Amino acid sequence: MTQKILVVDDEPEIVKLVRAYLEHAGFAVVTANEGNQALAVFRRERPNLVILDLNLPGLDGLDVCRALRRDTDIPIIMLTARLEETDRLIGLELGADDYVVKPFSPREIVARVRAVLRRAEGLPVRPQVISSAGVTLDLTQRIATKNGQLLELTTMEFDLLALLAEHPGQVFSRLQLLERTQDTAYEGYERTIDVHIKNLRIKLGDNPQNPQYIETVRGVGYRFRREVV
């Protein structure tokens, strides 16, 4: 089945360009040029992924991202002309899966879309469940629970937690985590891992000062505790 992408941007030329490249790559594309329209198109079309511009008239991209995350874990790629790292991190904190800064290569957009969709779909894996201190990850169904309660994790958060939990005690650098969960690394994006880890800790109820699950290894990266307390 053809995967459907919602492209949201108020610049017609960008929409036209991204649409052309995505359609050439075999995707179906629907579009919107402002925030409220984007939410309406999303509800009507139910796309597989959203490419969302940050600077939209009316309801801006961060508000749209926040609204989508209240109802769905659909993959979201933020698209913006802003260069500040703070803006990128805010988008990730709201649950965006990736972030592309204008000007960009249309081929890069296609590559990012494919990578994010691969993570969202999950590659075929052997049936496997990881359990530790009340947290259970079903790697086949991609379901995470804590004490029987469903954890609402984004695709990136699930992949990070699964990777760390599969290798308890092993330290991963930020770059390694980025490469292992996104298939490739984008220069300067390693620090976005910190945002995803922060979000994971909040959802796990994990105190970074006295972690039960994810430890920070200062100057290196992160690891999943071999023996939880």
At residue 124, the pLDDT reads 45
The number of helix segments (H) and strand segments (E) in the chain equals 8, 12
At residue 197, the pLDDT reads 94
Q: Please count the residues of the chain.
A: 229
Write the DSSP assignment of 92-115 as a string of letters. Answer: HHTT-SEEEESS--HHHHHHHHHH
List, in sequence order, every residue forming a beta bridge with 149; answer none if it has no partner.
Answer: 146
At residue 188, the pLDDT reads 54
pTM above 0.95, yes or no: no
Do the bridges between strand 172-173 and strand 28-32 make them parallel or antiparallel, or are there none, so unpaired? unpaired
Those residues with Cβ within 8 angstroms of residue 100's Cβ, 6 or more apart along the chain or in another chain: 77, 78, 79, 80, 108, 109, 112
Q: What is the DSSP letter of 56?
A: -
Order of strands, sheet of 149-150, starting from the edge strand that comes earlier in the sequence: 129-132, 135-138, 143-146, 149-150
At residue 87, the pLDDT reads 63
Q: At what angle do helices 192-204 and 85-93 cross, to 10 degrees?
A: 30
pLDDT by residue, tens only, the chain of 229 residues = 789 999 999 999 999 999 999 999 999 999 999 999 999 999 999 999 999 998 898 899 999 999 999 888 899 999 877 655 566 677 777 788 888 888 888 888 888 898 888 877 764 434 478 888 788 998 767 889 998 899 999 888 998 999 898 888 899 998 888 877 765 545 556 678 999 999 999 999 998 889 999 999 998 999 998 764 4
CA nearest neighbour of 96 among 120, 124, 129, 125 = 120
* Domains present along the chain, CATH in parentheses: 4-121 (3.40.50.2300), 129-224 (1.10.10.10)
Q: How many CA atoms lie within 13 A of 205 on its CB side?
A: 8
